[in-house]
């Protein structure tokens, strides 16, 4: 595991320590879990966009004409 040094306002760190203590954990564990979720969410978004691109590429649907902003908002 790699160490990470962060610059955090003293007040923010103190509040984080107090919150972590109430939750019976540590600031380190909270930051670690946040980074895991952050990295996983980014990966899932990229995978979803790749899947969408693949479906769009296989689609035979094509527009015969372009759309204008006005035509899209016409009711």
Q: Which residues contact 2 (CB under 8 A, 6 or more apart)?
A: none
pLDDT tops 70 at residue 4: yes
More confident residue, 1 or 27: 27
Question: Coil, strand, or helix at residue 55?
Answer: helix
pLDDT tops 90 at residue 28: yes
Q: Can you give the pLDDT at residue 29?
A: 96
Average of pLDDT values for 40-49?
Answer: 88
Q: Can you give the pLDDT at residue 30?
A: 96
Q: Can you give the pLDDT at residue 27?
A: 96
């Amino acid at each position: 595991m790699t160490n990470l040094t962060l610059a955090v306002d003293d007040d923010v760190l103190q509040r984080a320590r107090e919150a972590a203590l109430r939750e019976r954990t540590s600031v380190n564990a909270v930051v670690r879990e946040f980074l895991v979720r952050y990295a996983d969410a980014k990966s899932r978004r990229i995978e979803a966009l790749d899947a969408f691109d693949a479906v769009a590429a296989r689609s035979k649907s094509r527009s015969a004409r372009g759309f204008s902003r006005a035509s899209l908002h016409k009711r």
